[in-house]
A and B are shown apart, each in its own frame.
Chain A
């Protein structure tokens, strides 16, 4: 039995909150995506299957709506809201990502719905949270990245800070919401009561600063961005290095933990003839302090980085990966998406999962189980739904409407 199979989730999210329900659905929850008639606006976001814009062919939609059923329902209309309230009666969770106050103004806020179903766990995912001076700010992925701290730390120093090309901010918030909902569910098994969960993407993305969002509060120096690395005070720390056929990530740092790896790496370089013994035998544990207090000149650090660069440049990404595995070095390739999908490591773990799209007569590979549960493995049951695909199933089989009632609702544009 999938791990969350007893639970029903109503997913009212906009394009900001889609991942959350998918994660619960992947774990077996019955997730019902409630879309406005005509379909969610997220279905207009590309890229598209064969580059054909179509509500059922958005790969953005596909990426975040697997393991859900879809119904269409107009909650702008009182008739639609009444049907929604019926669904709430038997739901365990509700997720939404509308602007603060939007659902409450329509009588579908937490207090109204928990009066119908006191067990309901109701999670809201918003850019800045439900309250505060900027709660109603206009937003996008880039705006959240700017507001939360990771943006200023990434990019080339002679150009503006730069974001990840695939939008990330709301995904962090979706994952935090998923954890919070399951924690609230755990509590509900004791109290029998639901509650309201307020997740702000701005706060969630703070996690993506590796605690650098705390630098000022702690009285620490700010880090500064640098292409493929980071600047700490006078030090240029390189983290992306050139290979013969692309780039690799390599950690060459100091201190009582990381210096041990650098010592191992320098021994390896010396054996291979890339550096002399005097260079090999520097104090890699204390090396950072020696640079900071000027005992070791920065030019010497630059010389050592050039030695490391000469080494990485003399091998392909794959050769460096093999050396990393064999010798315990801290190197991995900077991969392109095709290399990710065709990775032997992921292949050996049966990671990518094919899902049938019978409506297109084809099947496509999706990112696989996010963890391997020993007793309750994640198995994908459903491809992302087409618009209102499960209307009949839910309105007729479950809510007991007859065909004439549903066609009446359809005529009125409610479903």
Chain B
């Protein structure tokens, strides 16, 4: 049966690695794009070395991060430094609608694989380069990871307690933001090509995308000259608003009162109607002012409840609350289960491998993750034979020239 997924007619040659890049082509693969991903046989993709590991065991295919970013793609291992690989690369460019890469700016040029070179063999090619700071500027050569791009674009300083050094958001934050912008830019560029026949080059700075997630703080500075700081879990409008201890070791429940009604319902749930009658707490501004006393009153209640129990009691009254979930709790979360957020795919060597579901539910032509992330060079034969239509002699020649990993 024909693949009805939205992007089933789109072909992507993907040189990207680590997280921000591959996470974007994973999205496109879920929507049906054929993604052929080039990996180096000698320089391992950093993502393959990162936690969490399948079976808690380090191995070239066991990284859950790599698996989550690369499910549904074809993998081919080619030594790009080997001159005999050039013809394969250009044949793949002729096949592709889109080429993506996420090396530091000079790397592709050094191999002679820039937009101008690709455009000569495929005039309407769409090429996107994604790196931390963009292709130009004094910091364009900075190589590194999303935690570094997040730090330099303001995210770290805005996460943590005012009286402590910045805690930073978890992990490589811009690697979570940038992939969506990558995917949007590419599908939009495909639409432009459909209408005009024109391809193009796209320069993506992961930092510049991510700054769109700090819009109000940026404007507060450019408009009012105010430099935002970190405030723990305090909110400018909502109070009380925080993460409160629950029964057990390091267990927590998040509670947010958006309105005075939420506040009254919280008091009633805690059987502390005396608090809602207390004039010191009658508005959000006053509750913020007295947050220390208020937070300890809430903690005295929350400590006596299991986090799920606290969540259930409060949500039954319409008060925003949720247990602060670790992965085990998320895996058992009835809502995530109902939404089929955890999808098992069959891995060629490791068996069942769980990855996250596609990022949206489409009613008529749903996205779908159809296979596990490739092992290194898993699809060499398939890509050369079925996609590039090379004959056996040609494939043997490439193998003996040391092109394939």
A346 contact from B27, B175, B201, B208, Cβ within 8 A: B208
- Which single residue of chain B is at the shortest CB-CB distance from A214? B64
Which residues does chain B contribute within 8 Å of A371, judged by CB atoms? 128, 181-182, 185, 202-205, 208-209
Which residues does chain B contribute within 8 Å of A115, judged by CB atoms? none
Closest 8 CB pairs of A and B: A63-B215, A220-B52, A249-B151, A175-B180, A132-B338, A375-B200, A180-B360, A257-B46
Which residues does chain A contribute within 8 Å of B169, judged by CB atoms? 150, 154, 164, 208
A23 contact from B23, B140, B184, Cβ within 8 A: B184
Which residues does chain B contribute within 8 Å of A307, judged by CB atoms? none
The stretch among A44-52, A73-81, A401-409 that forms the contact with chain B is: A44-52
Using a CB-CB cutoff of 8 Å, which residues 316-371 of chain A contact chain B?
Answer: 321, 324-325, 328, 330-341, 343-346, 348-349, 351-352, 364-371
Which residues does chain A contribute within 8 Å of B195, judged by CB atoms? 6
Q: Does A89 contact B (CB under 8 A)?
A: no
A137 contact from B158, B232, B315, Cβ within 8 A: B315
> B122-161: contact bitstring with A at CB < 8 Å (1 yes, 0 no)?
0000001000011011111111110111111111111111
Q: Does A397 contact B (CB under 8 A)?
A: no
The stretch among B83-91, B329-337, B376-384 that forms the contact with chain A is: B329-337
Task: Tell me, in angstroms, the Cα distance from A143 to B255 when the chains sit together.
Answer: 7
Q: Does A222 contact B (CB under 8 A)?
A: yes
Task: Tell me, in angstroms, the Cα distance from A289 to B58 when the chains sit together.
Answer: 9
Minimal beta-carbon separation of A109 from chain B (angstroms): 12
Task: Tell me, in angstroms, the Cα distance from A232 to B49 when the chains sit together.
Answer: 14
Minimal beta-carbon separation of B81 from chain A (angstroms): 16
- Which single residue of chain B is at the shortest CB-CB distance from A26? B212
Q: Knowing A160-B233, A189-B194 are in contact, say whether A176-B360 is a contact too (CB < 8 A).
A: yes
Main secondary structure of the interface of B (DSSP, over half): mixed
Q: Does B112 contact A (CB under 8 A)?
A: no
Q: Knowing A198-B361, A214-B52 are in contact, say whether A325-B139 is a contact too (CB < 8 A).
A: yes
Q: Knowing A138-B318, A176-B180 are in contact, say whether A156-B160 is a contact too (CB < 8 A).
A: yes
Task: Tell me, in angstroms, the Cα distance from A161 to B208 when the chains sit together.
Answer: 27
The stretch among B234-242, B286-294, B387-395, B397-405 that forms the contact with chain A is: B234-242
> B168-205: contact bitstring with A at CB < 8 Å (1 yes, 0 no)?
11111101110111111101111110111011111111
The stretch among B72-80, B216-224, B270-278 that forms the contact with chain A is: B216-224
Asked if B68 contacts A208 (CB within 8 A), the reply is no
Which residues does chain B contribute within 8 Å of A209, judged by CB atoms? 170-171, 327
Asked if A175 contacts B139 (CB within 8 A), the reply is no
B223 contact from A59, A208, A339, Cβ within 8 A: A59
Asked if A180 contacts B359 (CB within 8 A), the reply is yes
Task: Tell me, in angstroms, the Cα distance from A224 to B244 when the chains sit together.
Answer: 17
Task: Tell me, in angstroms, the Cα distance from A171 to B45 when the chains sit together.
Answer: 29
Asked if B154 contacts A340 (CB within 8 A), the reply is yes
Using a CB-CB cutoff of 8 Å, which residues 214-260 of chain B contact chain A?
Answer: 214-224, 226-238, 241-245, 250, 252-254, 256, 258
Minimal beta-carbon separation of A241 from chain B (angstroms): 9
Task: Tell me, in angstroms, the Cα distance from A396 to B53 when the chains sit together.
Answer: 61
Minimal beta-carbon separation of B294 from chain A (angstroms): 15
Q: Does A223 contact B (CB under 8 A)?
A: yes
Minimal beta-carbon separation of B311 from chain A (angstroms): 9
Told that A186-B191, A338-B227 touch, could you supply 19 new A-B pairs with CB distance under 8 A?
A47-B236, A59-B216, A138-B262, A151-B324, A154-B167, A172-B177, A180-B359, A193-B364, A203-B339, A219-B56, A240-B166, A242-B165, A247-B166, A251-B147, A332-B152, A335-B152, A335-B153, A349-B136, A374-B201
- Which single residue of chain A is at the shortest CB-CB distance from B175? A210
Which residues does chain B contribute within 8 Å of A213, judged by CB atoms? 327, 330, 356
Q: Knowing A218-B53, A219-B55 are in contact, say whether A134-B330 is a contact too (CB < 8 A).
A: no
Question: Which has the most chain A C-beta neighbours within 10 Å: B177, B202, B216, B327?
Answer: B327
Q: Does B41 contact A (CB under 8 A)?
A: no
B213 contact from A166, A225, A325, A336, Cβ within 8 A: A166
Which residues does chain A contribute within 8 Å of B144, judged by CB atoms? 251, 330, 332
Which residues does chain A contribute within 8 Å of B189, judged by CB atoms? 3, 373, 375-376
- Which single residue of chain A is at the shortest CB-CB distance from B323? A146
Minimal beta-carbon separation of A118 from chain B (angstroms): 11
- Which single residue of chain B is at the shortest CB-CB distance from A179? B183
Asked if B334 contacts A143 (CB within 8 A), the reply is no
Asked if A349 contacts B333 (CB within 8 A), the reply is no
Q: Knowing A240-B165, A332-B148, A335-B157 are in contact, say whether A220-B64 is a contact too (CB < 8 A).
A: yes
Asked if B214 contacts A337 (CB within 8 A), the reply is yes
> A241-280: contact bitstring with B at CB < 8 Å (1 yes, 0 no)?
0100001110100011110000000000000000000000
Which residues does chain A contribute within 8 Å of B63, judged by CB atoms? 211
Asked if B229 contacts A196 (CB within 8 A), the reply is no
Which residues does chain B contribute within 8 Å of A247, judged by CB atoms? 151, 156-157, 165-166
B319 contact from A138, A165, A216, Cβ within 8 A: A138
Asked if A365 contacts B156 (CB within 8 A), the reply is no
Which residues does chain A contribute within 8 Å of B227, judged by CB atoms? 336-338
- Which single residue of chain B is at the shortest CB-CB distance from A135? B335
B324 contact from A146, A198, A232, Cβ within 8 A: A146
Which residues does chain B contribute within 8 Å of A230, judged by CB atoms? 170-171
Size of B's binding interface in residues, CB under 8 A: 172
10 CB-based A-B contacts, threshold 8 Å: A133-B338, A135-B335, A182-B191, A202-B335, A211-B69, A220-B56, A230-B170, A240-B167, A331-B148, A373-B189
Asked if B254 contacts A142 (CB within 8 A), the reply is yes
Which residues does chain A contribute within 8 Å of B253, judged by CB atoms? 146
Minimal beta-carbon separation of A42 from chain B (angstroms): 11
Which residues does chain A contribute within 8 Å of B208, judged by CB atoms? 346, 349, 351, 367-371
Task: Tell me, in angstroms, the Cα distance from A207 to B9 when the chains sit together.
Answer: 26
Task: Tell me, in angstroms, the Cα distance from A4 to B195 when the chains sit together.
Answer: 11
Which residues does chain B contribute within 8 Å of A123, judged by CB atoms? 360
Asked if A47 contacts B224 (CB within 8 A), the reply is yes
Q: Does B267 contact A (CB under 8 A)?
A: no
Minimal beta-carbon separation of B272 from chain A (angstroms): 19
Task: Tell me, in angstroms, the Cα distance from A210 to B23 when the chains sit together.
Answer: 10
Which residues does chain B contribute within 8 Å of A197, judged by CB atoms? 360-363
Minimal beta-carbon separation of A327 from chain B (angstroms): 11
Q: Does B263 contact A (CB under 8 A)?
A: no
Asked if B181 contacts A370 (CB within 8 A), the reply is yes
Asked if A335 contacts B324 (CB within 8 A), the reply is no
Minimal beta-carbon separation of A360 from chain B (angstroms): 10
Q: Does B108 contact A (CB under 8 A)?
A: no
- Which single residue of chain A is at the shortest CB-CB distance from B179? A207
Which residues does chain B contribute within 8 Å of A373, judged by CB atoms? 185, 189, 200, 202
Q: Does B96 contact A (CB under 8 A)?
A: no
Q: Does A227 contact B (CB under 8 A)?
A: yes
Asked if A161 contacts B161 (CB within 8 A), the reply is no
Which residues does chain B contribute within 8 Å of A87, judged by CB atoms? none
Minimal beta-carbon separation of A152 from chain B (angstroms): 5
